[in-house]
Structure 1
């Protein structure tokens, strides 16, 4: 489903942002959601959900709404998620209350800049059973000067539960220092 929030003909925000979405689909296997959040979203019972693609464009203060979406998809095994959604899910100082222990395969498209690394760690802590991790970075946004140099020691301190059970890791377009350090950490842990 695609939920836009912009009305091209009126050149202003559409009234769609004041709506809600309710889904009750216990047999649904795949969900793809792109675009804006609604005022409220209830994903109901998605008992058969296997794969979810969440590419939202939430404002920075939509922590509760993004958390609401992730609660609805917590039974899925495969999650494809964009950086904006991950950043909206991160709230500094908050502890991860939602555990996504069914997620086995995670794909992300975002550069590992300072703000994103903090949000990514918060998400990764919620996934203790992750086996496959794919990160596709957008290298045109990250330059050596803007990299924050999250080194091997930083990653060790994060104590990520899934790290020893990874079976497949793919980090594409790793032109930034943070991506290279994360790769080194994973390779060191896995002794590859």
Structure 2
């Protein structure tokens, strides 16, 4: 019975197209693939032509690593005639000489025209990529994840064909930015929690996608300079403390999407962002005296966008809207509120710059202990906001405070083109309070005969 069962399993794989069998086998680790290869000639052929190789070593000792290295060398040497799409190596412990063996496996994979290399070493203090890797003509994607103290040594020469680079939880050397700039085919760079020097100067004619997230530096100031003729997406986000104060100098004439968050001390944009369509701004400032200057410079460079998302603390110092540009192309605005007492005068200054707004979303309101100022619907009426006449859609997160209800009252009364109003209740609001607020809103005067009001609980 056991032989028949095993035979049936082999017949099952024999009947499948190779690309489906390879897909199934790609979920197995290297040792399991080796075992599977002994079942039959067909299984051996499938394993030796597998486009994905995954080596999971866990906490293997030095002796186990040595034995496994001999075995893997024998196995991969048989696999040389087949192309390997992805090579992945994972090790969770530090082993003396482990990086040497892994370096050999990487070089073996390059002989099989590997395109994608993924390396994850949670406990390595240092890992050096083999110098021969830079000679690989087929390598396109490289991803390395270590730990915040782990040092990644890169080859001194550039990677000729590398297009995508992802680094997370690693330390890099002082000439890291020079090395990136020297990779002439590099299109995407994602750096997450990467520890580097106090300056990152990236100059590239090929780079299209750049993400810098929670970078770690040894100084309170971090100078970022990006000069990239083809850059389309730029995302710089610092979410966690301690965060450095960023200084950004940007030259990206073809930029389409720009997200920027964290503490900021300086901003400069060289040239015009004529292709920019979407922006997400969540910047804060150490010195309130320079806040207006920086946010004004940001607005001057992004005023062509059609969609923008912005935090309330980014606009809290807007006091001279006449110095700011008009967002004549803007159709969608998302205001992200860190508390429910948003700086309403600053918000009005911003809204006055957006005469053709179609969609307004106010996200993230939370109940505050005390409401400092009260703004009635009559106050909103007195502002003569142009955007209200083109408004089609409103989406608001509310905590049930007076200012929120009064804003809703104003919008319903004046937005003649409004088609949909969505109210999202904070979960802290009791069911009886939600019912009372809903009833009150439904009784407000409505200017648009085609508008619909929806109520949800914001989970």
After TM superposition, is the score higher than 0.5? yes
CA distance in 1, matches of 2:410, 2:215: 40
Return the match for 1:152 from 352, 377, 393: 377
Return the match for 1:132 from 359, 367, 378: 359
Q: Is 1:96 the equivalent of 2:96?
A: no
* SS of structure 1 residue aligned to 2:309: strand
Deviation at 1:25, TM superposition (A): 2.0
Q: Does the C-alpha gap of structure 1 residues 189 and 44 become closer, same or farther in structure 2, counting only changes over 3 Å?
A: same
Match of 1:13 in 2: 220
Deviation at 1:13, TM superposition (A): 2.2
Return the match for 1:28 from 246, 251, 255: 255
- C-alpha offsets along residues 68-98 of structure 1, whole Å, 9 cap, x if unaligned? 011100111000000111113x12xx34332
For the Cα contact (< 8 Å) 1:137–1:174, is it kept in 2? no
CA distance in 2, matches of 1:117, 1:53: 20
Q: Does the C-alpha gap of structure 1 residues 112 and 103 become closer, same or farther in structure 2, counting only changes over 3 Å?
A: farther
Q: Does the C-alpha gap of structure 1 residues 31 and 50 become closer, same or farther in structure 2, counting only changes over 3 Å?
A: same
For the Cα contact (< 8 Å) 1:5–1:36, is it kept in 2? no
Q: Does the C-alpha gap of structure 1 residues 176 and 147 become closer, same or farther in structure 2, counting only changes over 3 Å?
A: farther
Q: What are the ranges of 5 or more consecutive residues in structure 2 without an aligned counterpart? A: 1-210, 224-243, 416-446, 452-459
- Cα RMSD after superposing both structures: 2.4
Deviation at 1:24, TM superposition (A): 2.3
Q: Count the aligned residue pairs.
A: 183
* TM-score for both structures, normalised by structure 2: 0.37
Deviation at 1:3, TM superposition (A): 7.8
Q: Is 1:69 the equivalent of 2:298?
A: yes
Match of 2:398 in 1: 173
Deviation at 1:38, TM superposition (A): 3.8
Match of 1:42 in 2: 269
CA distance in 1, matches of 2:245, 2:375: 40
Q: What are the ranges of 5 or more consecutive residues in structure 1 without an aligned counterpart? A: none
CA distance in 1, matches of 2:327, 2:264: 20
- C-alpha offsets along residues 137-180 of structure 1, whole Å, 9 cap, x if unaligned? 4213x24x415221111000000011011011111124221111
For the Cα contact (< 8 Å) 1:35–1:57, is it kept in 2? yes
Deviation at 1:40, TM superposition (A): 3.6
* SS of structure 1 residue aligned to 2:381: helix
- Which deviates further from its counterpart, 152-161 or 97-106? 97-106
Return the match for 1:106 from 311, 333, 347: 333
CA distance in 2, matches of 1:48, 1:127: 19
The structure with the largest alpha-carbon Rg is 2
Indicate the structure with greater strand content.
2
For the Cα contact (< 8 Å) 1:3–1:34, is it kept in 2? no
Q: Does the C-alpha gap of structure 1 residues 34 and 167 become closer, same or farther in structure 2, counting only changes over 3 Å?
A: same
CA distance in 2, matches of 1:168, 1:187: 11
Whose RCO is larger (CA < 8 A, sep 6+)? 1
